Homo-oligomer: A and B are copies of this chain.
Amino acid sequence: MNGSRGSQPTIVDVAARAGVSKSAVSRVLSGTGRFSDETRERVERAAAELGYVANAMARGLVSGRTHTIGMLVRDASSMLYTALHAVMEQRASELGYRVVTTTGVGRVEDEKSALASLVSMRVDGLVVCSGLLPSADIAEFAPRIATVVAGRPELHPALSSVYCDEVDGGHRIADAVADAGHAVVVVLTVPLDNAITQHARSTAMAGRLRGRGVTAIDIDASFVRPADDIAADVVDVMRESGATAVMCPTDRLMLDVCDALAKRGVSVPSDVSVTGFDGVYPLANDWIGFTTLQQPVDRIGREAIDLVIGRIDDPGRAVEHRSLRGTVLPGRTLLRR
C-alpha cells in the first residue's frame, strides 16, 4: 500500500522506495547504529519524496519514550496559565522536549479525564497547572510518571512543585495597602474549594491587615457570584464601614469589579483604591495601571520544566518544593489616604 489514498506512508513504503530494509530506514531516520552514506542518501530522499512523518505512536510503543511533556491547564483563557504555557513551551523546546497541552473545561471531572488522556498518551512527564484538581487525583500517577505541580502550593509528599509564595505575596500587597494609610479595607475572599491559591492569598491579605491594626472586612467572592453582585456588596460595605480600599484575589476579578463599581457610580481610584494579584500581561501594564502582586511566572515555568525533566532523567530524585516570591507592582489604582 503506497500513500496514494488517505493513509500516511509508513517506514515500509520508504524502505521499498529506497530499495533497502525497514531496519535500515529506521537507523538512518533515528540516527542510531551504522549505515553507509549511500544508504543514508537513498533513505532521506525517499522519505522526503513521500512526505514521510514517523508515527510517534508506533515509535513510543516500542521505545517507551515520547519526548513529550504533558501539561494540564485549568482554563485555556486564563492569562496566568497562558503565560506559564508560553514559558514552559520555550524552556522545554530548549531541552529537546515537546509540550502538549490539554485542559478541562472547568469541572473537576473534565480535568481528571484530561489528565488521564495525557497519561494514556504516555507522556514522559506531567506538569499540572490547575488550582482545581485535588492532590490525590494528581498523586495517583506520580509513582509512574514524573510529575510536577506548577503555580500552586502543593506539599503532597509524592509531588514536586514550584509556585508563588502566596502567603508572602498576600502579606506584601497587604503591606502596600496598609502603608498607604487605609484604615478600613474590604478583602474579597475565595473559598478553599474554589481555588486553593486564591483562598491562600486572600486569607493572607486579611490576616496581615488585621495584624497591622487595619480593619479587614471579608466579602465572599466565590466563582459562582457575578462580579456585579460582589460590587453591590462592596458598595454597601463601603457605605456602612467607610472602607477606602478593596483587595482582590486576581487581576481578572479586579477588572470585573472595577467595571461593576464604575457602573454603580464608584470610580477607581478616586472613590476607592483597588489592588489585584497575578501581574501578568496584558493587565500588568503601566497604562492600565493596576496595583498588584506580580507572580514570578517566568521562573515558575522554567523551574517546573527543569524539575520534570530532572525527574524523567532520574526517577529516583527527591521530591522538591520551591516557593518563589512575587513583587508588588505599583500602579495608579492604589492611592494614599
Which A residues lie at the B interface, using CB under 8 A? Answer: 3, 6-8, 51, 53-61, 64, 66, 75-77, 79, 82-83, 85-86, 89-90, 93, 98-103, 105, 110, 114, 116-117, 119-122, 140-141, 143-144, 252, 255, 258-259, 262-263, 281-283, 285-288, 315
Contact = CB atoms under 8 A, between A and B. Distances in A.
B120 A54 contact: yes
B53 A116 contact: yes
Contacts of A114: 98
A116 B99 CA distance: 13
Count identical subunits in the complex: 2
Contacts of A105: 89-90, 93
22 contacts: A6-B315, A8-B144, A51-B141, A53-B116, A75-B86, A77-B83, A77-B85, A79-B82, A79-B282, A86-B103, A93-B105, A99-B102, A100-B100, A100-B102, A100-B121, A101-B102, A121-B121, A252-B282, A259-B285, A259-B287, A262-B286, A282-B282
Nearest to A121: B56
Q: Which 9 A-B pairs have the closest CB atoms?
A: A57-B57, A259-B287, A56-B120, A77-B86, A76-B86, A76-B85, A101-B101, A100-B100, A258-B287
Contacts of A283: 282
Nearest to A110: B93
Nearest to A115: B53
B57 A61 contact: yes
A89 B61 contact: no
B55 A120 contact: yes
A152 to B, nearest CB: 19
A69 B7 CA distance: 17
Contacts of A3: 144
Given A79-B282, A82-B77, A100 B98 contact: no
